A and B are shown apart, each in its own frame.
Chain A
């Protein structure tokens, strides 16, 4: 029987260490963002992506050399899940939206004459410069709006101190998630934006549960020292935090392993985000409240009733 209830771990004791750890990770992320940058996929960079399946195994380097003679600029060829599945990426061509359309035909013709095996075109995506520009803009806006909406919501349901703490933790999560994509150079695509938004929701969810308990304990234990009170609140909710994270991670791991190649980047981002989100709720969001001068005198007749 798993029982994490009734723990009395002193989480705030290690807050200096975790704050430094978080600071280092944030620093690394921002550094990687400026040094490596994000490896944008065609959603944000424009260009052409073709996924093919062949009846025989293909020697990639030969195919790559062949495609590079087409004078289409940078052409990448990589295995996609198996050695008979290949992903071909052609960078965006100069000359506006209309020109991009020609690339598909040129590559298809070239593949047809170069490869002797049967080719099944599984996926073709062409994104022109206009759309990719818009997608990156709307993606960035969506993340900002989401974080801002959380700020407002927590402010309404709690107090500004909680709102600030939660949003700092949220920004922490978003930076680390973007950071891991800068460091690993995994492709950053539209679904990753969806993953980040979901992480924002999930991390907030975790934080709210802890904060809810903090508020309740503030009413219940009026004289308790804030550090002890925060520790108590984290411990009270620790079991739930762990159980929910585990079930979510179980589902995500299954998706990561069995869900197919197309969705892998998205699932990776989600797994990372759930881990970071859980960490930040316990080690960032809650300890931050200690510095934010939370109000002690809660109106006991407020919307949330926890008096006995």
Chain B
């Protein structure tokens, strides 16, 4: 076991040197790295948000809201079909997932009509080849209509994908540095924002669905804004965005919606110097808007955002150019954010923030400093202890330990794994545990010597005997690290990564590098080199 062919020596050293090369960039500044030759690795360790400062948000798409909206649409469709066919229905019940009503004369013709209407209204969601998205059951005169499970699943999945895209657009609009936005599970979104420790603005941007609609104000009834009476059928009462107490009564019918916007920009009203948002419609939107304004000159229309009225100006003349502006008494940042929201589009459903973890840059820097210091002290303590116990062999193990530490750093940089505060703890723990493989070997060597082997044989047998123990012992720790990796997220996952890398590098260095060092000096080894007294 002590003989190494040249090829072996070469490959062991090559692996170590290449890994170490990948650790090198971490000791230089970004600008210094620029001056390095091209072949040289330049990737530095990826610091986790807890070390570089930043914000982690876990959001969930409110999927119930999506289903509710679907059922709401279905409700309108079904009533329309029933009315069209002059069927009288009663006991109409809308639950979370289904419609139920009693009707006479419900037949397969009508059933088909409902199915087709519902299908045509949800084209964009259905998978290719789907025959229907409804399950209609009839028992005498009681009819129940449900969505198919597949359709519900697909609706949710679509909404989440769409939300992801809109969240990405909104965050990109803010010009955040290297944000990471990922889907997690079926309805969640993880957002990582390096360098942002107060995500208030982002949270408020994401907290709005930003559904913009233009609706006419219902002027047919007498109405006290502070004490509204019940709205007539076809109209609804909405609060003002600026003042919760001030109500408007607007027609439910949407003239134009935010989906027809092509651009929105913040600006200032040239006359009043008040911050405004100017917008532009696409062709369909422009046509619709032109027609409605033409027919309703002199009447007020409401600009509604997320069911709150931003403003309700009076239409002075037909607006045919397809552009306009919103002024609602907001400051310039609010105008800016509104423009961002309108450009990015509306979320299909509200987002709920489930978890937020933000770390300021100071704490991150302090953690790195403390971690480095702890690592150095721990390192020195272990090095001294090893030399104290194993003398010359201890020194070799220490050299291996240093190599080992840089290899962990190199592997982290190579794979662009994320180093977190618990990850640093993992490296420090590795310092303590990495010598274990060597300890097992050295103890075996001592034992062999006590049993009468000569030094060379003792080292040979020591390595041979210790192998299976070392593998068994390290595999158990590795199992724990792997389980942790799959169970944890964020910082704790960083711990499992450094722990696992440390296990591999320490077993590797013990079996190749320290052995190689010992073999260089094999002829001159003496028992006291491994910490036994001379007369043992």
Contact = CB atoms under 8 A, between A and B. Distances in A.
A259 B423 CA distance: 12
Contacts of A3: 531-533
B476 A204 contact: yes
Interface string B451-474: 000000000000001001100111
B373 A98 contact: no
Contact of B436 (A197, A205, A258): A205
Interface stretch (A17-25, A61-69, A149-157, A222-230): A149-157
A128 B355 contact: yes
A249 B432 contact: yes
A282 interface: no
A201 B495 CA distance: 14
Nearest to A129: B354
Contacts of A201: 476-481
Given A194-B488, A262-B367, A142 B359 contact: no
Given A5-B443, A97-B353, A252-B432, A202 B477 contact: yes
Nearest to B476: A204
B480 A200 contact: yes
A130 interface: yes
Contact of B359 (A6, A122, A126, A244): A122
Given A101-B353, A123-B360, A204 B477 contact: yes
A98 B531 CA distance: 63
Interface in A61-114: 97-98, 100-101, 104-105
A28 interface: no
A104 B483 CA distance: 34
B363 interface: yes
B446 interface: yes
Contacts of B443: 5, 237, 239-240, 243
Interface stretch (A32-40, A179-187, A263-271, A287-295): A263-271
A58 interface: no
Interface residues of B, number: 78
A51 B364 CA distance: 13
Interface string B383-408: 00110110100000000000000000
B357 A248 contact: no
B286 interface: no
A243 to B, nearest CB: 5
Interface in A207-250: 208-209, 212-213, 236-237, 239-240, 243-244, 246-250
Interface in B500-530: none
Name which of A104, A251, A262 has the most chain B CB atoms within 10 A of its CB.
A251
A142 B484 CA distance: 7
A255 B428 contact: yes
9 closest cross-chain pairs (CB), A and B? A201-B480, A251-B432, A254-B378, A248-B432, A260-B370, A201-B477, A204-B476, A142-B487, A251-B378
Interface of B: 50, 58, 60, 197-198, 200, 203, 207, 352-360, 362-363, 366-367, 370-371, 373-375, 377-379, 381-382, 385-386, 388-389, 391, 421-422, 424-425, 428-429, 431-433, 435-436, 439-440, 443, 446-447, 450, 465, 468-469, 472-481, 483-484, 487-488, 491-492, 495-496, 499, 531-533
23 contacts: A3-B531, A51-B363, A98-B352, A100-B353, A124-B197, A128-B355, A130-B354, A142-B483, A157-B472, A197-B481, A200-B480, A201-B481, A202-B433, A205-B436, A244-B436, A247-B431, A250-B432, A258-B374, A260-B371, A262-B421, A266-B425, A270-B429, A304-B468
Interface of A: 1-3, 5-6, 51, 53, 97-98, 100-101, 104-105, 120-128, 130-131, 138-139, 141-142, 145-146, 149-150, 153, 157, 190-191, 193-194, 197-198, 200-202, 204-206, 208-209, 212-213, 236-237, 239-240, 243-244, 246-255, 257-260, 262-263, 266-267, 270, 303-304, 306
